[in-house]
């Protein structure tokens, strides 16, 4: 059927030479030539000269390029992996060169938001699905590409680079996309699963960032494993509720991209979101944290968006809401925890 196409040697494109983008390029490179697009000329030079990028040893099959049109013309399969804040503008640019035969699998865990005129994310009262889009929806809106998928799962770039065992989910309504993604990414140390609920998997990947910040905060307070177990399980319930309100199915949250990714990020001090929570608990303010890091923690925006969506759709989301108060409204982590521990809700599971 469609898999014959993989034997031939058309290169695969990766857009975005950040941490995860570089890791994905390295996963692809053993199978195929990879064109890695970077916006920044200095990154391209660095990769060409030293073969290194952000601590990744880049595979020789990877060619860094600065011409998006060239990527679109040479590759039928493209992995866009850029921060959610720039995703739409990148797509607007890329879409000029895209055709319906292209296949896009993105690896960005974040929301795109389009606010009513004159509003900011802070000033707007509530948000609904007209304003909040997942990356696959941005691809569909901005381009003619319909065969879209996403990569999600416990994929910490540093561990992937070290060749440790890991897995990912490729989600797409098209089996074709899942098959192709599997063939391209799978190796002895990297397992690939398929899921047809694209939006559900995307939502799981995004919403877990909220819980990751909370996990960092618990750790910063010096609490141990009981507290973490409590957070992860209740956080999971909250993700399911929010995810369903936003158009996903429960199942996606129980898989590799849901609970798998959640456990990983909640346990890892490598994760940016975890770090934000950790530093908050140590008494730093959001402003301090933002000014001292160049990498973007998607979770901070996600907390704002998730809280405002929860209000619009009348979803009970105590962890998200209290975390919002810690980040933006001077509540301390300790007060937040006290509040949550007294929260009057005692049903364990009521969504299955």
Binding positions for another protein, rule: CB under 8 A:
1-2, 4-5, 8, 10, 76, 95-96, 99-101, 103, 141-144, 146-147, 173-176
CA angle (85 as vertex; 79, 91 as ends), nearest 5: 45
Q: Specify the residue, 66 or 74, whose C-beta has the smaller distance to another protein.
A: 74
Q: Specify the residue, 144 or 345, whose C-beta has the smaller distance to another protein.
A: 144
Q: How far is the CB of 100 from another protein (least distance, A)?
A: 4
Q: Specify the residue, 76 or 284, whose C-beta has the smaller distance to another protein.
A: 76
Q: How far is the CB of 199 from another protein (least distance, A)?
A: 14
φ/ψ region of 50 (left if φ > 0, alpha if ψ in -120 to 50, else beta) reads: alpha
Q: Specify the residue, 138 or 262, whose C-beta has the smaller distance to another protein.
A: 138
Q: How far is the CB of 173 from another protein (least distance, A)?
A: 5
Q: Specify the residue, 48 or 175, whose C-beta has the smaller distance to another protein.
A: 175
Contacts of 211 (CB under 8 A, 6+ apart): 231, 232, 235, 236, 238, 239, 262, 265, 266, 319
126 phi/psi in degrees, rounded to 5: -135, 165
Distance in angstroms (rounded) separating the CA atoms of residues 265 and 261: 6
Pairing of strands 103-106, 112-113: unpaired
Which residue in 10, 33, 158, 208 is the catalytic one?
208
Pairing of strands 62-65, 34-37: parallel
| DSSP category for residue 96 | G
Whether residue 208 lies in the annotated active site: yes
Q: Specify the residue, 69 or 345, whose C-beta has the smaller distance to another protein.
A: 69
Q: How far is the CB of 116 from another protein (least distance, A)?
A: 13
Q: How far is the CB of 187 from another protein (least distance, A)?
A: 22
H-run or E-run covering 132: strand 132-133
Residue 299, SS3 per DSSP: helix
Distance in angstroms (rounded) separating the CA atoms of residues 230 and 238: 12
Q: How far is the CB of 67 from another protein (least distance, A)?
A: 19
Residue 243 near residue 132 (C-beta atoms within 8 A): no
Q: Specify the residue, 175 or 335, whose C-beta has the smaller distance to another protein.
A: 175
Distance in angstroms (rounded) separating the CA atoms of residues 24 and 228: 30
CB environment 156-178: b (16+ within 10 A), e (fewer): bbebbbeeeebbbbbbbbbebbb
* DSSP H helical ranges for the chain: 19-28, 41-50, 68-74, 84-94, 135-142, 157-161, 175-185, 198-220, 225-245, 250-253, 261-267, 272-281, 286-291, 298-313, 318-328, 333-341
Pairing of strands 62-65, 56-57: unpaired
Q: How far is the CB of 181 from another protein (least distance, A)?
A: 13
112: β partners: 133
Please identify every residue annotated as catalytic. 208
């Amino acid at each position: 059927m469609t898999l014959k196409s993989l034997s031939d040697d058309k290169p695969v494109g990766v857009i975005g030479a950040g941490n995860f983008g570089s890791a994905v390029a390295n996963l692809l490179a053993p199978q195929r030539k990879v064109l890695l697009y970077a916006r920044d000329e200095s990154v391209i030079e660095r990769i060409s000269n030293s073969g290194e990028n952000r601590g990744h040893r880049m595979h020789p099959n990877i060619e860094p390029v600065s011409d998006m049109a060239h990527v679109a013309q040479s590759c039928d399969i493209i992995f866009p992996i850029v921060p959610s804040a720039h995703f739409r503008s990148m797509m607007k640019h890329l879409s000029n060169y895209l055709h319906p035969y292209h296949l896009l699998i993105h690896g960005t865990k974040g929301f795109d938001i389009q606010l009513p005129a004159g509003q900011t994310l802070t000033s707007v009262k509530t948000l609904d699905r007209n304003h909040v889009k997942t990356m696959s929806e941005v691809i569909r809106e901005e381009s003619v590409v319909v065969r879209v998928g996403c990569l999600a799962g416990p994929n910490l770039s540093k561990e992937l680079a070290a060749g440790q065992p890991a897995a990912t989910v490729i989600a797409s309504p098209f089996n074709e996309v899942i098959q192709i993604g599997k063939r391209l990414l799978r190796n002895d140390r990297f397992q690939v699963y398929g899921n047809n609920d694209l939006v559900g998997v995307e939502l799981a990947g995004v919403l877990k960032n909220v819980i990751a910040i909370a996990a960092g905060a618990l750790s910063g307070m010096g609490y141990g494993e009981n507290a973490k177990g409590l957070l992860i399980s209740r956080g999971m319930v909250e993700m399911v509720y929010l995810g369903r309100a936003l158009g996903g199915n429960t199942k996606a949250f129980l898989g590799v991209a849901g609970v798998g990714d959640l456990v990983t990020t909640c346990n890892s001090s490598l994760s940016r979101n975890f770090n934000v929570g950790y530093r908050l608990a140590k008494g730093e303010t959001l402003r301090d944290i933002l000014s001292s890091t160049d990498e973007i923690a998607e979770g901070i925006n996600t907390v704002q968006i998730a809280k405002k969506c929860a209000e619009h759709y009348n979803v009970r989301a105590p962890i998200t809401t209290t975390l919002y108060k810690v980040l933006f409204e001077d509540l301390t982590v300790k007060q937040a925890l006290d509040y949550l521990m007294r929260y009057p809700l005692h049903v364990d599971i009521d969504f299955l």
